[in-house]
Every structure is written in structure tokens, then in C-alpha cells.
């Protein structure tokens, strides 16, 4: 595709529910990233995939958060037992995954998650 | 630790230059980045600088890097109303792929 796309653009859920957020990276990009942006803050790193595997998941806040990328393209961020503090904009980015270069990350428009 | 700091707000007159400042903590970062975020939109990469450079110019944008002081700045020449946005500074600690962002500087351009 022309850019990174994310669905849904908005998601409202109730405390305790399960949600899935989807990211479609730029075609051919092997690296994919999830970030979370709370109101008035910069994006905060969650997890990074190289291909199908999670190369760095050090930013996941707890075990309620999980992400997959089974075929090395689309990724899903899954949040169990949502809490009000999970409300934020979830950003996805992808990059070519080229070693030895800046490997620029291109961001999607984000999914705004609101937990009531 | 990893921490990127920016001033929160900058107001300039249209046509003037804007200078947005950033300090970072990780000297092992290989690249430093400036992203722009407009209301309701995703992050747009504006420019980046390799850590062994002092300056990079790209049309109206000039990036200055003082590695000794871990200070990065973005200068926008001839600032226009379309430049109104939030500007984020980011580093990649250890040269790894994850980016650490500052809280962003809101640039307001007035006539």
C-alpha cells in the first residue's frame, strides 16, 4: 500500500473487555513497530518485529498486552482486560529493515482507544 | 537512562525563524530524528542527523547537533502558518531500532 494503515481509527470499549488493533505496514517492509501515545506525551515504544518474530518487546507494560505478526506483514496488538489507563493513541510504524542505514520508520495515523 | 527533553511551547511570527531545542541522554544513539505531528494525523519524519555530524541542512530546515552537550536543535527558516504543529525529537539508544521520543514542542505561528 501507499502508507501504513491502521484499523479501526477509533475504538471505544468498556473496562475489562478485550480489544484487537490492526496494522498494515508498507508493502515490503520487514520491520514493524508499535508505540503508544498518551495525551500530551510523545510516543512510547512497545514492541518491534523483524519479520514474524518479536525482536524487542521490552516496552510492553504488562502481560495484558500481546502482539503478533504471523506472516511477517500485518500485525495485531491485543489488549486483555482493558483498564482506563490503557486509553491512548496506538501508533504503528514500519521500516524497510535494512541494516547499516537509518532504517527510517514511517508511521500510520494511529488507533485512538478509549476505555470507559 | 533514556530521556529526551524538549520545551513544550514556542510561538513565532510568520516569516521569522523558529528554533526548537532538545536534549537527549544516550551518547550511543546513532541517529537523531525530528518528526512533525499535525492535529489528528500520524507522525511525519522531517529530517534526521547521523551522530557524527554537526549540522545538516534540508531546504528550510537546519539541524544542529552538539554531541558533547547532547543537544539537538531544529531551525525552520521563514516559518509559515502551515508549520504549526507539534515537533518531536527522538533518539535510538544503542543504535537499536526502538525510538525514544521527547514530549513534543507545540509550535504556534501567528501573523
Closest to A90 (Cα-Cα) out of A4, A1, A9, A3: A9
What are the backbone angles phi and psi of residue A87, rounded to the nearest 5°? -60, 125
Are β-strands B71-76 and B85-91 bridged in parallel, bridged antiparallel, or unpaired?
unpaired
Residue A46 is placed in which grid cell? 512497545
CB A54 within 8 A of CB A47: yes
**Cα(first)–Cα(last) distance of chain A, in Å?**
33
CB contact under 8 A, B99 and A106: no
CA–CA separation, A107 and A26 (whole Å): 10
A64-92 as b/e: b if 16+ CB within 10 A = ebebebeeebebebebeebeeebbbbbbb
Min mean pLDDT across A43-57, A92-106, B68-82, B87-101 is at A92-106
CA–CA separation, A83 and A60 (whole Å): 15
For residue A47, the chain B residue with the least C-alpha distance is B98
The mean pLDDT values, 10 residues at a time, for chain B of 111 residues are 84 97 86 91 90 92 94 96 96 83 96 89
Of B42, B48, B101, the CB nearest to A42: B101
The residue-averaged pLDDT of A76-81 equals 98
Of B42, B50, B102, the CB nearest to A42: B102
- Mean pLDDT of the residues in chain A: 93
Q: Which residues of B touch A43 (CB under 8 A)?
A: 43, 88, 99, 101
- For the cut 80, the answer to whether the pLDDT of residue A46 exceeds it is yes
- For the cut 90, the answer to whether the pLDDT of residue A1 exceeds it is no
pLDDT-derived band at A100 (thresholds 50, 70, 90) equals low
Query: Residue A101 has what pLDDT?
Result: 67
Cis peptide bond prior to A54, omega within 30° of 0: no
Radius of gyration of chain A (CA): 13
Amino acid at each position: 500500500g501507499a502508507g501504513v494503515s491502521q484499523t479501526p481509527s477509533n475504538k471505544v470499549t468498556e473496562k475489562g473487555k478485550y480489544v484487537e488493533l490492526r496494522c498494515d505496514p508498507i508493502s515490503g517492509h520487514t520491520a514493524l513497530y508499535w508505540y503508544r501515545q498518551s495525551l500530551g506525551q510523545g510516543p512510547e515504544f512497545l514492541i518491534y518485529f523483524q519479520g514474524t518474530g518479536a525482536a524487542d518487546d521490552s516496552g510492553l507494560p504488562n502481560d495484558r498486552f500481546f502482539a503478533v505478526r504471523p506472516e511477517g506483514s500485518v500485525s495485531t496488538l491485543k489488549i486483555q482486560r482493558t483498564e482506563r489507563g490503557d486509553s491512548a493513541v496506538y501508533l504503528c510504524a514500519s521500516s524497510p529493515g535494512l541494516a547499516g542505514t537509518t532504517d527510517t520508520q514511517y508511521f500510520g495515523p494511529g488507533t485512538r482507544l478509549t476505555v470507559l | 537512562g533514556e530521556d529526551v527533553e524538549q520545551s513544550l511551547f514556542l510561538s513565532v511570527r510568520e516569516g521569522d525563524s523558529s528554533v526548537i531545542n532538545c536534549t537527549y541522554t544516550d551518547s550511543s544513539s546513532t541517529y537523531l530524528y525530528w518528526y512533525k505531528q499535525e492535529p489528528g494525523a500520524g507522525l511525519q519524519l522531517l529530517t534526521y542527523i547521523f551522530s557524527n555530524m554537526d549540522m545538516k541542512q534540508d531546504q528550510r530546515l537546519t539541524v544542529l547537533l552538539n554531541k558533547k552537550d547532547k543537544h539537538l536543535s531544529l531551525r525552520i527558516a521563514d516559518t509559515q502558518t502551515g508549520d504549526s504543529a507539534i515537533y518531536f525529537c527522538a533518539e535510538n539508544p544503542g543504535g537499536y531500532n526502538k525510538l525514544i521520543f521527547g514530549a513534543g514542542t507545540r509550535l504556534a505561528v501567528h501573523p
